[in-house]
């Protein structure tokens, strides 16, 4: 193994450790900061978020879309996702129900670390403060193992590394809010599989795809 390969492996190991510590910190923080929800909780129980700005990744479909819609009546919401056309369609669909919704779309590819950094830089330049960040966008169970533009396994790159860099880059504008909130969602798919595959970034055995029941809003 030459020095270049050793450096690359070292960087990947460091990022892996940071990602695991980051996700564990937010899981622990959420458990301590939140009490059990009421059985009959509804949107009417949500505190007012007026005069705040939220960023929702993967806000064009699924839970991310529902987050955006729930806050759109009184909150400025930045929707980030891969497809600008779907972003504009999402904004138009929500404004049919909430005409005065303050919505903005920003493109991001969380599997590309440069894209995550670019979005955080753009928002730092345009936002005075950010009240909340909902790291919602994820991928789950692709049919084949893939690698990101930076060479990381696609699940890890999209679900963890991209969100890690985005959150770190937005800390200055998050800290200007009192208090800011950061939410991390992660699918259960990392818990499926043999523990031995955690020993390497390139497991020798091919992945066994999990085929969940498709839903009409399944893409981030």
Predicted local distance difference test score (pLDDT) of residue 203: 47
Model pLDDT, residue 41: 76
Q: Looking at residue 25, what is its pLDDT?
A: 46
Vertex 10 angle, CA 197 and 158, to 5°: 55
Rounded to the nearest 10 degrees, how much is the dihedral formed by the CA atoms of 95, 99, 102, 105?
20
Phi/psi at 183 (nearest 5 deg)? -120, 135
What pairing do the DSSP bridges indicate for beta strands 132-135 and 53-57? parallel
Left, alpha or beta for 192 (phi > 0: left; psi -120 to 50: alpha)?
A: beta
Secondary-structure breakdown of the chain: helix, strand, coil percentages, each rounded to the nearest 5: 45, 10, 40
Question: pLDDT tens digits, the chain, 220 residues: what are they?
Answer: 566 555 555 555 555 555 555 544 444 444 444 566 677 877 777 777 778 999 999 999 999 999 999 999 889 999 999 999 999 999 999 999 999 999 999 999 999 999 999 999 999 999 999 999 999 998 877 777 888 888 898 888 888 899 999 999 999 999 998 788 898 887 655 555 554 444 444 544 454 544 544 444 444 4
Give residue 22's pLDDT: 52
Of all residues in the chain, what percent carry a pLDDT higher than 90? 45
- State the pLDDT at residue 57: 96
- Specify the pLDDT at position 19: 53
**pLDDT at residue 202, rounded to an integer:** 52
What is the CB neighbour count within 10 angstroms for residue 137? 28
Give the domains, in start order, of the chain with CATH numbers. 49-187 (3.40.50.720)
Phi-psi sector, 175: left (phi>0), alpha (psi -120 to 50), beta: alpha
């Amino acid at each position: 193994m030459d020095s270049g390969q050793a450096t690359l492996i070292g960087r990947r190991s460091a990022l892996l450790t940071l990602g695991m510590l980051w996700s564990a910190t937010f899981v622990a923080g959420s458990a301590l900061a939140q009490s059990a929800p009421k059985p009959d909780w509804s949107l009417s129980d949500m505190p007012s978020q007026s005069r705040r700005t939220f960023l929702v990744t993967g806000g064009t479909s699924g839970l991310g879309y529902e987050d955006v819609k729930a806050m759109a009546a009184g909150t400025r919401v930045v929707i980030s996702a891969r497809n600008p056309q779907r972003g504009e369609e999402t904004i138009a669909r929500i404004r049919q129900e909430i005409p005065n919704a303050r919505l903005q779309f920003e493109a991001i590819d969380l599997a590309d670390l440069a894209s995550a950094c670019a979005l955080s830089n753009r928002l730092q330049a345009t936002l005075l403060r950010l009240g909340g960040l909902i790291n919602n966008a994820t991928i789950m169970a692709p049919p084949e193992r893939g690698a990101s533009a930076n060479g990381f396994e696609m699940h890890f790159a999209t679900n963890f590394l991209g969100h890690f860099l985005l959150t770190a880059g937005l800390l200055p504008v998050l800290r200007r809010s009192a208090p800011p909130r950061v939410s991390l969602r992660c699918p259960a798919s990392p818990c499926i599989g043999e523990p031995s595959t955690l020993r390497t970034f390139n497991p020798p055995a091919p992945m066994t795809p999990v085929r969940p029941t498709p839903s009409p809003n399944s893409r981030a």
